[in-house]
Each structure stands twice: as C-alpha cells, then as structure tokens.
Structure 1
Amino acid sequence: MAGKPQPVRVLYCAVCSLPAEYCEFGPDFEKCKPWLVQNAPELYPDLVRDATAKEADRVADQLNATGISFGSGDGATASSAPKEEVKRLPGGKVKKKEKLEVIIEKVTRNKRKCITTVKGLELFGVKLSDASKKLGKKFATGASVVKGPTEKDQIDVQGDIFYDIVEFITDTWPDVPESAIFFIEDGRKVPAV
C-alpha cells in the first residue's frame, strides 16, 4: 500500500500569476520571460538559450547607443540608460498615446431635444463629477457623468450649450487651453478656436 499522496507543488509566475507552465498562453508572456528565465529555466530551455544571446546583443546595443565604449573605465553601466516603455495591446499592437484634447459633441434626439457631450476633461486633471455639477449650475440644466460608447467616462449636459461651453471651460479650468478643445460637426473634428 502506498502512503498518503503528497500535494503537487505548483510554481506561480510573479508577473501574470498563472502557473509557470501556462505563462506562454497568458496576456503578458513578453513581460513574464525574464522572470521565467530566472526562476523556471527547466520549463523553457529555449528562452534561456535565446535570452543569453539576446542579452549580449541588447547590452552591446545600449552601450553603443549611449556612446559608452566597451573598454571605458568611467564606471557607467548599461542600466543607467533610460528605457522607453512601449504599451502593447493584446495581439502585439502598439497602444497609441492619448491626445490631450477635449471633444464637444451635440446629439439631437426626438427632433428637438439636444444633449451636449463633453469628453476628455479628465485628461487635464479635472474631476468629472465636480465638472458636471458646475456645468449643471452654470447652464441651469441637468448634467451627469456617464459611460460613453468606448467605455470612457464623459459628461452629458441636457440642452444645446454647444458654443457657450468653450468659454466656460477655459475660464473655470485654466489648465485646459482653448487650442485643445474641438467640436464634432457633421462627423468631422473642428477646432473650437
């Protein structure tokens, strides 16, 4: 008779929190690779082999880019070079940086009623709940923070305040320049200036 079965020890990745053997199927395999090379080399022997070759090439490229020669004794290291982080979406596409702009759009419903939407104020450090209260008080109308079609928060203001809102935004929040405010007219983005 065999003894009591022992529990299986599972090594979890510190980056993606999946078991180490499943990291290659996870969302951040590129970020997991350095951790796997260091902590689970037996699971990915190809990574270890590739990492040593790539590491040597990367260090040489960094040294050449910063102007440090291999024989210099100035004590500078390759880690002192600034590393630019690139955001990647699933599938490997590079994520674009968000533009700092406020977009104002008028949506007509039921032929007479209008809703003015304001998107992008949060990029300038404006708290959207406070902004909706101020807009509601200024224009004596209802204003609320809602999720837009792209799952980002936006402010919906009842009524047609399309052209009056630009002056109010620039006066209330001086961090928002007038050149960063755009209208959506007939499906085109038009500067508010």
Structure 2
Amino acid sequence: MAEKPQPVRVLYCPLCSLPAEYCEFGPDFEKCKPWLVQNAPELYPDLIKEANAKETDKVTDQLESTGISSDGATPSAPKQEVRRLPGGKIKKKEKQEVVIEKVVRNKRKCITTVKGLELFGVKLSDASKKLGKKFATGASVVKGPTEKEQVDVQGDISYDIVEFITETWPDVPENAIFFIEDGRKVPAA
C-alpha cells in the first residue's frame, strides 16, 4: 500500500501575506527583506549578500564620519552623496535642462509644454502666472506622464518663449533650453 502524501507546508510572510517566494512581487518588498533574511534565507541568497554589504557600508560610513577611511588613511576630499533606489540601483543626477514641446490637439489647437524650470529654482506656479500674462493665454501647472510637474500654456508660443525665459529667469542659460521636434531633442540656441 502506498504512503499517504503529506501536505506541503507553505511559509507565509506576515507583512505582505504572500508566500515567502512571492514576496518580491508584493506591494512592498523592502519591508519584507529583513523578515526574509531571518526566516527564509535559502529563498533569497542575494538578500544575505546585500545585508552583509550594507553592514560593511555602515561601518565604513561610521569610520569616514570620524575622519578615517576604510584603508586607515584620512580622506582627502568629502565624498558626494549618492542616492540609492530600491534594489541598490544608483539614481542618476538629473541634467539641468528646460524642455519645450508643442502638442497639437483637435487639429488646430496647440499646447506648449515647458518642463524642467524647477531644476533652476523657479517656482512653477509663478512661472505659469508670468507665462499666462505675457502671452495672454491660459497657463497651468500639471503633472506630466512621468509624474513630474510641468507648465502647460495654451497656444503655440514656442517661438517667443526662449527669449522670455532667459530674460525673466537669468539663472536659466540659453544653452540649457531644448525643443522637442519630430521626437528629437534640438537645442534652442
């Protein structure tokens, strides 16, 4: 007579309530990582390496904050702060540039979109007011497709906007302003 099969024991994560092997697809994998390292190390061996690397980084940072580098020498220049994304990826620093794009809707109506003014310290609400007054149109601050705020101005004002931006906000150099034409980024200067 054959043995009765035993039920499979499934380890569930108490944080995301998914089986441990599916935590990485859950709502917040970062919160689950410490629990997984402690309770299911065989499922995610990379997490253990990452946890060890973080411990080493903490010790190195503590040494450097006291003025000693990890090799025992005093540091010659301060280290630039690097922003890390989840998963340990390094976030690239955004280029400081203003991108102007003309979007045509309903065959004749145009909207001119201005992105990147906030990188030069310009308040977008003030910018939309000034652009609206200068060109006598409606202008507003909206969230773009990449969840970043941008200024939308009604009408095709792309011909005068470069001169207006450089005069109104001297911190914005003309060589940092670009147009998007036919899907390509073209310098305005």
Note whether the superposition's TM-score is higher than 0.5. Answer: yes
Is the 1:166–1:181 contact (alpha carbons within 8 Å) kept by the matching residues of 2? yes
Report the Cα distance in structure 2 between the residues aligned to 1:189 and 1:85, rounded to whole angstroms: 30
Matching residue's letter, 1:161: I
Q: What fraction of aligned residue pairs are identical, expressed as a percent?
A: 73
Q: Is the 8 A contact 1:104 1:181 kept in 2?
A: yes
1:162 to 115, 133, 158: 158
1:126 & 1:148 partners in 2: Cα distance? 17
Point out 4+ residue stretches in structure 1 off by more than 3 angstroms.
57-61
Distance 1:29 1:94 in 2: 21
Corresponding position: 1:86 with 2:88: no
Letter in 2 for 1:153: E
TM-score (norm 1): 0.63
Selected match of 2:30 from 27, 33, 51: 27
| Paired residues, number | 149
d(CA) in 1 for partners of 2:31, 2:78: 22
The residue matched to 2:167 in structure 1 has which SS? Answer: helix
User: What is the match of residue 139 of structure 1?
Assistant: 135
- Classify 1:94/1:114 alpha carbon distance in 2 versus 1 (closer, same or farther; 3 Å): same
Two-structure CA RMSD over aligned residues (Å): 3.9
- The runs of 5 or more residues in structure 1 that have no matched partner are 1-17, 19-24, 33-41, 69-75
Specify the code of the residue in structure 1 equivalent to 2:145. P
Aligned mate of 2:146, from 141, 147, 150: 150
Question: Deviation of residue 164 (structure 1)?
Answer: 0.6
TM-score, normalisation: structure 2: 0.64
- Give yes or no for contact 1:62–1:81 (8 Å, CA) kept in 2: no
Structure 2: which 5+ runs fail to align?
1-14, 16-27, 40-47
Match of 2:69 among 62, 66, 74: 62
| Offset, 1:29 | 9.1
SS of 2:30's equivalent? coil
